[in-house]
Structure 1
Amino acid sequence: MSSARRQDPCQGSSPATEPDPAPLRPERVDPLRAVIFDVDGTLADTERDGHRVAFNEAFEAAGLHYRWSVEEYGELLTTTGGRQRIERYLQSHRHSPTEAAALAAQLHRDKTRRFAALVRTGAIQSRPGAAELISALRAEGVATAVATTGTGDWVLPLLDRLFGLDAFDIVLTGSDVTDLKPDPAVYLEALARLELTPADAVAVEDSANGVRAAVRAGLRCVAVVNGYTRDEDLSGAVAVLDDLARPGGVTVLRGEARLRDGLTVAALRRLITAVA
């Protein structure tokens, strides 16, 4: 028989000892906060059968005999910005600086109108894997942005048709900055608007000027080349691929072998955390 006494309820009882709360686990922070994309040649195949065609149509409409071949246009792409490209070309063909500037502005307006018409017909396509990568990033909570030197009057309609403008948190074009790539201005502005540091984001580019701009902004940059940029100096990029994605895999021109599966969210996370 137990000798324990029943406690008088009037005497009260000592409070039960509460267990120590479990220590709070630190919230896991994704090292990849944003991916910033170029447009021309990176997200879309715009140059050879888009801009070049529109430039040539503008030349013809203006009564000029100039026609840019596929090869010549590739050489002209070292000059960033369509209007600047025309202006420099005209000066090299015996137009005075004043005449070249005025004529370039006129031609560029007409070229932009003609390029926008190509966009509306569906003639300009996204690069394989671009839409899927953007969707995957957004599903993982990674911000997506655009930083291009193209002007807003054709960039915005193109992005809207190919991906929808709501696929991007911010879109910055050459209309938003004074200095074009390889100056880092458009990337620095993108980071400022995203409220991120360069360590939080990766840039995806296709050209030497684009890679230089991203690197000068302090970003890690992946280069995804095209027929015009494959032989450019892309030494500033942490990896160089021949496409964003492709059935059967892509060719890794420089970088880890696992990238042959294409540019994925997992691959971008590995690149941003890799030791430089």
Structure 2
Amino acid sequence: MKKQNKLQAVLFDVDGTLADTEQDGHRIAFNAAFKQFNLDWNWDIDLYGELLQITGGKERIRFYMENYAPTMLNKNDLKDWIVSLHKAKTKYFESQMETGSIPLRPGVARLIQELRQEKVKLAIATTTTMENVISLLKSTLGAESIDWFDVIGAGDIVPLKKPAPDIYHWVLNQLNLSAQQCIAIEDSENGLQSARAALLSTLITVSGYTSLQNFDGAVAVLSDLGEPSKPFTHIQGAAFAKEWVDYEALNSLIKK
């Protein structure tokens, strides 16, 4: 009998996966930054859902300009201006995080602690900024939690963002592990495509903005990671012995 690979690392996406940060976090911060820059832009809930098809905040701003404010593309310092606008947005988001108003999704804190006990490496692979990652971890798990993660791949550390696999290739390289020894946890179709292109088995926990996306290729699609007292809803893919995701469940999902 072929020996089962032992799970060596779990690679987490951040926005929508660790916490539902998009609708009432990043969106609100973008709108606050627009106001600060005297812009009449307003990203309502539906529009922001459309804009989330573009990964990366700076990329999202440029896409919006190309489609909704094309005359502003003539700015001589356009790239620097977008960077400044995005930095302002990041500061607003960090302020939100400090209030503790956005909690982790069900099962996230429990699973992270269990993986630490099992000596499984923890990593983050995200298109959001390092500042945003640190703010979320500090506000939900405490400042010490940053050191729980062996690798944090965030922001512009690679040139191409999801759905390109670059961020996952970078994290795997830093971990010095193969994709077959790891599993990714994502919430979006872009994230799934990115992880799968890096040959990672990928578990999806859908979020509000992503529930209707195409998750073909995921090992399983769930409502969330679940808790013993509040089971997840199974949507598609592999069946589980329990109704919450734990180390044993993740180990059963990685490629044999």
**TM-score normalised to structure 1 length:** 0.84
Instruction: Tell me what 2:17 maps to.
Output: 42
Shift of 1:66: 1.2
- How many residue pairs get aligned? The number is 247
* CA deviation string 1:10-46 (max 9, x = no partner): xxxxxxxxxxxxxxxxxx9861011000000001111
Percentage of identical aligned residues: 41
Point out the structure with max Rg over C-alpha: 1
1:89 corresponds in structure 2 to 64
Aligned pair 1:149/2:132, yes or no? no
Q: Does 1:129 align with 2:107?
A: yes
Equivalent residues of 1:159, 1:165 under 8 A apart: yes
For the 8 Å contact 1:252–1:259, the answer to whether it is kept is no
Q: Give the corresponding residue for 2:233.
A: 251
Deviation beyond 4 Å, 4+ runs, structure 1: none
How far is the alpha carbon of 1:260 from its aligned partner? 6.0
1:166, 1:207 → 2: CA distance?
A: 26
Write the distance in 1 (CA, Å) between the matches of 2:238 and 2:217.
15
Q: CA deviation at 1:82?
A: 0.6
> Is residue 70 from structure 1 mapped to residue 45 from structure 2 by the alignment?
yes
- Are the counterparts in 1 of residues 52 and 60 from structure 2 also a CA contact under 8 Å? yes
1:255 Cα deviation (Å)? Answer: 1.9
- Mapped to 2, the partners of 1:91 and 1:255 lie a distance apart of 38
Displacement of 1:78 in angstroms is 0.1
Is 2:200 the partner of 1:227?
A: no
| Secondary structure of residue in 2 paired with 1:157 | helix
| Contact map agreement 2:222 2:234 (CA 8 A) in 1 | yes
- Specify the code of the residue in structure 1 equivalent to 2:84: Q
Which position in structure 1 is the counterpart of 2:175?
194
1:161-198: CA deviations, max 9, x gaps?
A: 32310221111102321111111111111111111101
Q: Do the aligned partners of residues 53 and 233 (structure 1) sit closer, same or farther apart at CA in structure 2, a change above 3 Å counting?
A: same
Gap runs ≥5 in structure 2 = none
- The one-letter code matched in structure 2 to 1:178 is P
Contact 1:220 1:272 in 2 (8 A): yes
Distance change (3 Å), C-alpha of 1:259 and 1:60: farther
Specify which of 248, 260, 268 is matched with residue 250 of structure 2: 268
Q: 2:217 maps to what in 1?
A: 236
Q: Deviations over 1:39-61 (max 9, x none)?
A: 00001111000000001111112
For residues 116-141 of structure 1, the C-alpha deviation after alignment (integer angstroms, 9 at most, x for no partner) is 11011112211111111011011011
Q: 1-side partners of 2:242 and 2:118: how far apart? A: 22
How far residue 98 of structure 1 moved from its aligned partner, in angstroms, is: 4.5
Give the conservation status (yes or no) of the 8 Å contact 1:35–1:202: yes
Q: Which amino acid aligns with 2:249?
A: A
Q: Report if the CA contact (8 A) 1:137-1:265 is conserved.
A: yes
The Cα offsets for residues 193-229 of structure 1, whole Å up to 9 and x where unpaired, read as 1111010000000001110010000100001111100
Q: Note the 1:1-12 alignment, pairs <5 A.
A: none
* Whole-angstrom distance in 1 between the partners of 2:56 and 2:242: 32
- Counterparts of 1:29 and 1:273, CA distance in 2: 8
What do the CA deviations read for 1:235-262 (whole angstroms, capped 9, x no partner)?
1211100111143311111123326612
CA distance in 1, matches of 2:85, 2:241: 41
The 2-side partners of 1:122 and 1:235 are apart by: 34
